[in-house]
Structure 1
Amino acid sequence: MMRSYRRGPILLRGHQIPDSTTDARLLAPGQDSAWVHSDPWRVMRIQAEFVEGFGALADLGPAISVFGSARTAPGEPDYELARDIAARLVADDFAVITGGGPGIMEAANLGAVEADGISVGLGIELPFEQGMNDYVDLGINFRYFFIRKMMFVKYSLGFIVLPGGYGTLDELFEALTLVQTRKVESFPVILVGREYWGGLAEWLEKSVLAEGMMSPGDEKLFTVVDTAEEAIEAVHAGLKAVVHARNGGDRGARAEDAE
């Protein structure tokens, strides 16, 4: 019978069996420091990022995430629009979460601070320096995109998405996929700027839906608006629809009417 060797939950046989134990390797002198970059150690870093994120955001309260381009400069229409949206969210007792960077993210954090609200930034380690903008009151920097995405989804009641590039599209479609597959409870996804997002909405309906690449209704998982006022109205309408669905939809409404 082939010899077996167990290392925690791992079963090793044949040439996979090590010539020393885990304890022996741990205590051996003169070790190469490269071990800290190995995959098993990376798991501990991942765990630590989850713990830090959960700990920092657990008591945040109702929050809405605002996404958009890091390239948008102060004073540009979309920058001022994001700033206005964030201030309105704070007025309605929401915290504002962004990616913590410049552009639209900075604008939303600025709007939240100016309205005396909670301004959160979830940053990410990038090969080029981006940094946390000056208007973040509560900031967390992540190594891993997937952990950062988890925090956005877990601690947000909805997403407001202004014009942006690949990063913005990534966050948008991540959210829509989670809603479509029912991995998360449905929440409002608001796209701000009909001129910017109209082509995407049309393509999803006339190409993706028409070719049978999505189910009827999936093209309606988001709402497209133009103004800050419309964005806030869409957030509240979306949250009301979530509560309605959670309470049994029409059945719940009929039960309330009967009372």
Structure 2
Amino acid sequence: MTGIDILMITYDRPEYVRLSLPHLLASCPPDARVWLWHNGTDQPTLDAVEELRDHPRVHRFHHSPVNAGLREPTNWLWQEATGDLLSKVDDDCLPDPGWLHTLRQAQDDVPEFGVIGTWRFPDEDVDDELVAAKLADYPNGHRLMRNHWVQGSGYLLKREMVRQVGPLTEQDTFTTWCLRGARLGWINGWYHPFLPEDHMDDPRSPHTIYLTDEDFMARRPLSAKRTGVTTVAEWTEQMRHSARVVQAASLDLREYQGWRRRRRTVTRRIRLALTGRAPW
């Protein structure tokens, strides 16, 4: 396969961008192109991006004065990029330095791989029994902890999967998009042994900006607002819970459609109505 196109969306996090963007550029092979999309008008964040706009690995830059979210810039990359492999790295993430080499080789060797990714949770969150139950081996020594979706950062996917599944719709999250691909037969999951991705928004990261509850409330992530999380301790517990959810998630695709999916949606709405907080 030839050519890798990688999206980074930046927004209101200058401390993170000054780490994540140089880190991403340093990890890129010569045929990788980084597409930068800046949301909003925060000048320190924009300055951090502008300083690297002329880097030889930076291919395109787009500035949206309003926060366009994730769907529009993701579809921008998917529709306009020409590489056989596509990726996105969040501005609060530092993937393993060798991540592209390893994931690219896996994509080259295994035609049925769809979205395969780096692993953003610390070692303390890994449940060896749950992981072992979902490990699968593939040609040339590649192994995945299979799951029908991965997080929307530090992944590598084939352009052919995008061609088959289509763009992100208004109803899609990256998770539901991955599930649509899985229903078409694409194999998704985390490369194993895990390739770490330092998720700086996790309070356990050495680079986090969330040192106190005051720091957290001043710059709370959108997902924390949606789930009613207000303290560093609660946010850390949400990270732990998220790790367990993906390790324990079923590989039976029937669990994610029809009445089973509706049952989980109803449960979520009931809990939100009773407690003001949706399950994670």
TM-score (norm 1): 0.32
Q: Tell me the TM-score normalised to structure 2 length.
A: 0.30
Structure having the larger proportion of residues in helix: 1
Q: Which has the higher contact order (CA 8 A, sep 6+)?
A: 2
Larger Cα-atom Rg? 1
